[in-house]
Structure 1
């Protein structure tokens, strides 16, 4: 994994805000190489080991509801490139045309099998395919849809210096984000104005402190979070970051 030259970045990323994080990553070339080598080796091995699970989930999804096995929504990754993510389908077919692009608690679009899959985060394991292909990495900013990326403030675009991730510090601390959106009349507005800035605080902080070993640590924390362990969020840091970007006019 090698960073592009600064002048080769998309013009919207060539800002002072992004440059700060770019310069940090330029000093972490060995960790970036190790990160990609680990992604290739680990995803290939896990895909082979988990192939029986893939088959079982595929059969269960097809029996439970009509539609494809995978949910292939368009997401954004490195340098603003779009790709179609692999997620085991947990909602009715064409769910994104029947409501918000984010999922809320007790979402009526979630299927019976989908509820079980989401409970244990099994819908995410199919993203091993995306990791192997290089569209994603194990640890990095969760891939957003184009609609939300278009709302990024300049500093948020620094997260596009690295591939989108299967897990992250933000996804651990916001593992129950559907509860935060529960009951909201305008889910998309609340997500962009309230949830996204909070997650971005941790995403940017992770880039600032990036190292290969820190990535491994986040993977272990993810396993513990899935098993039920709770981690304390830095609400003061989130609030400070939210206030700083609010001055720049983050809007839907």
Structure 2
């Protein structure tokens, strides 16, 4: 197996982090006291020992190294380690107060933590980036199989294909009934295949497996030390916020019916929307005027395009955009834009790449029809068609639609109903996890999409 290096990643991180901790302490000591010759003849020797012991304690509590491949993004990793540094600082502060050790230099400690913060940030970001690049080259991979074939199994495979940086290598499906060409065997062949090909992880899609078959695969994985994961379909409940409870040894899904937005969060979100939109409008007004002028002179027709969309609680409103298509583009009825769509003007194509056509929607936000972050609003024509396939779409109308959404970032603009349904699943996850921090993350991700010109 070419992923054995993974077992050493945690050891590398622990070792380097301890090294950086001591380097930051010594560098700060050198800066404050103009040398380190006096370090071993002063009480700072004991402080250095205590700082190392308390660092070990902080990582045992926070467990910053316990993070999966999928969640090992630079922001997630840094948040974990920033929490460890904060806890470490609190432990040291308690030590100072408890033992009245005020003779230690505060300047030294402040500089130590600033250096540690900077060095840890740089080290984690660089290591994570190069590890992902290493995995993109086909190294440090984990071989996986999916047991049970169906829609969820296909989506799982697509996820691994899209995110090669996570280092997963899909080896095939195993299923008893399916005749798909991608199914490489049945459950009888699974065990031999896993052992012969040194498969690392087995993903079981429980909706397509009998209970006895699932239990057999789980027992096999445990016996031969293969990581085994069970995939269940909770997507129809995602809008409500599913939590797992235990009644003795009985797992129970708690499907809450609480509103997605409480009053306090809704008020805060509205204030943020107004402040953010006003800032964008005021700072970006010169750019907006240029975009409007170019829209006017590059093709005949109005500068702005208004269209009825469905908002929160099913209320219709007019959404505004800079016109990116020729006039009468939908004279034959509703039609979604596609790549190389002849209805789009050359300037409109450029605007769509940078999402400049969406700028007037900040006025929709100020009016209260939309939010900065939220599911993208659709026309009633398409909503009716989506609900025929995915009735859970109506739950998106529990919140205000947004200029940007997690579905739009993760999936992009949809060209047909099937793609709309796929994007819907991302937006349902947003309903489950609505928070200010998630909104900020989506805004930052949108900015990256704009800079990479990935709109269409």
User: Aligning the two structures, in what range does the TM-score lie when normalised by the shorter sequence?
Assistant: 0.7 to 0.9
1:71-111 deviations in Å (ceiling 9; x for gaps): 10111110111111111001101212256521000000111
Q: CA deviation at 1:173?
A: 1.7
2:426 equivalent to 1:202: yes
User: Where does 1:116-131 land on structure 2 (aligned, <5 Å)?
Assistant: 116-131=350-365
* Contact 1:138–1:165 under 8 Å retained in 2: yes
Secondary structure at 2:360's aligned position in 1? helix
Match of 2:290 among 56, 65, 73: 56
* Contact 1:72–1:86 under 8 Å retained in 2: yes
* Contact 2:260–2:431 under 8 Å retained in 1: no
* Contact 1:76–1:144 under 8 Å retained in 2: yes
Instruction: Identify the structure with bigger relative contact order (alpha carbons < 8 Å, sequence gap 6+).
Output: 1
Cα RMSD after superposing both structures: 2.3
Q: Do the aligned partners of residues 39 and 70 (structure 1) sit closer, same or farther apart at CA in structure 2, a change above 3 Å counting?
A: same
Structure with more strand by fraction: 2
User: Where does 1:100-139 land on structure 2 (aligned, <5 Å)?
Assistant: 100-139=334-373
Match of 1:20 among 237, 240, 255: 240
Q: Do the aligned partners of residues 19 and 224 (structure 1) sit closer, same or farther apart at CA in structure 2, a change above 3 Å counting?
A: closer
1:203-238 deviations in Å (ceiling 9; x for gaps): 1110011111111111111111222399xxxxxxxx
Indicate the residue corresponding to 2:19 in structure 1: none
2:213 equivalent to 1:213: no
2:173 equivalent to 1:173: no
Indicate the residue corresponding to 1:224 in structure 2: 448
Match of 1:38 among 272, 285, 293: 272
Indicate the residue corresponding to 2:325 in structure 1: 91
Q: Do the aligned partners of residues 220 and 154 (structure 1) sit closer, same or farther apart at CA in structure 2, a change above 3 Å counting?
A: same
1:98-131 deviations in Å (ceiling 9; x for gaps): 5652100000011121111111110011110101
Instruction: With the length of structure 2 as denominator, give the TM-score of the two structures.
Output: 0.42
User: What is the rounded CA distance, in whole Å, between the counterparts of 1:20 and 1:148 in structure 2?
Assistant: 23
2:307 equivalent to 1:73: yes
Q: Do the aligned partners of residues 99 and 115 (structure 1) sit closer, same or farther apart at CA in structure 2, a change above 3 Å counting?
A: farther
Indicate the residue corresponding to 1:147 in structure 2: 381
User: What is the rounded CA distance, in whole Å, between the counterparts of 2:402 and 2:318 in structure 1?
Assistant: 14
* Contact 1:71–1:86 under 8 Å retained in 2: yes
* Contact 2:260–2:398 under 8 Å retained in 1: no
User: What is the rounded CA distance, in whole Å, between the counterparts of 1:26 and 1:217 in structure 2?
Assistant: 19
Instruction: With the length of structure 1 as denominator, give the TM-score of the two structures.
Output: 0.74
User: What is the rounded CA distance, in whole Å, between the counterparts of 2:427 and 2:419 in structure 1?
Assistant: 13
Once structures 1 and 2 are overlaid, which stretch shifts more, 95-104 or 82-91? 95-104
The count of aligned residue pairs is 202
* Contact 1:77–1:83 under 8 Å retained in 2: yes
User: What is the rounded CA distance, in whole Å, between the counterparts of 2:283 and 2:383 in structure 1?
Assistant: 34
